[in-house]
Amino acid sequence: MEETPTATNYNINDLNENSKNVNATIKVIEIGETKDIPSRFGDKRVCEVKVADASGSILLSLWDDQIGKIAVGDTLSIQNGYISIVRNSMRLNIGKYGKMLLSEEVLSEVNTENNVSEKHVDQPERPRREFGGRGGSGGSSGGYGSMYGGGGDRNFSFRRSGYGGGGSGGGGGGRRDSRGGDKRGGRGRR
């Protein structure tokens, strides 16, 4: 049986870009504007909320159905939260495995001067996704290309619809929607 990692009680000042399984008691200082964020899975709504404890403040990202459930002055208990990086800045998130509850504990002293979201955090560069094929650099006859670009390996000489031609300059793609050529695929230079 797999054990769930135990969450740690954090002060805001102790959070860093790798913090996860975060439990924290925080006070709502300011509620930002709700924004629509386009996504490939449909539009989402996000609202950034400034929260604080005695050690510092941070922006808390609320998403979709989490929005509108809190008010300025509320004390919240965050359970199993995590830190994400947005434009080189830390955000506290609840996520689908976390919880945000109104706390009976009252935080009277908060530190809004030490805003950890204002600290610059370097992000590792994401690997670039390659869409489309690499134009062929070999093969004088056509090649088995990617669905989006020409091929160029003389060992594969397919000329069926849907496969591109190769050649020294790389041929067209042969995708039915004409992204890289016509239905027959293009021809490379010899």
pLDDT in tens, 93-151: 998 899 999 999 889 899 999 999 999 998 766 666 665 555 544 444 444 444 444 44
Q: What is the mean pLDDT of residues 29-41?
A: 93
**Best mean pLDDT range from 25-34, 169-178, 181-190:** 25-34
The residue that leads in pLDDT, 114 or 179, is 114
Question: Is 47 a residue whose pLDDT tops 90?
Answer: yes
Cβ within 8 Å of residue 92, ≥6 positions away: 15, 22, 24, 51, 58, 59, 60, 61, 78, 81, 82, 83
Query: What pTM value is reported for the model?
Result: 0.62
The residue that leads in pLDDT, 165 or 97, is 97
Nearest-5° Cα angle at 33, 92 to 56: 35
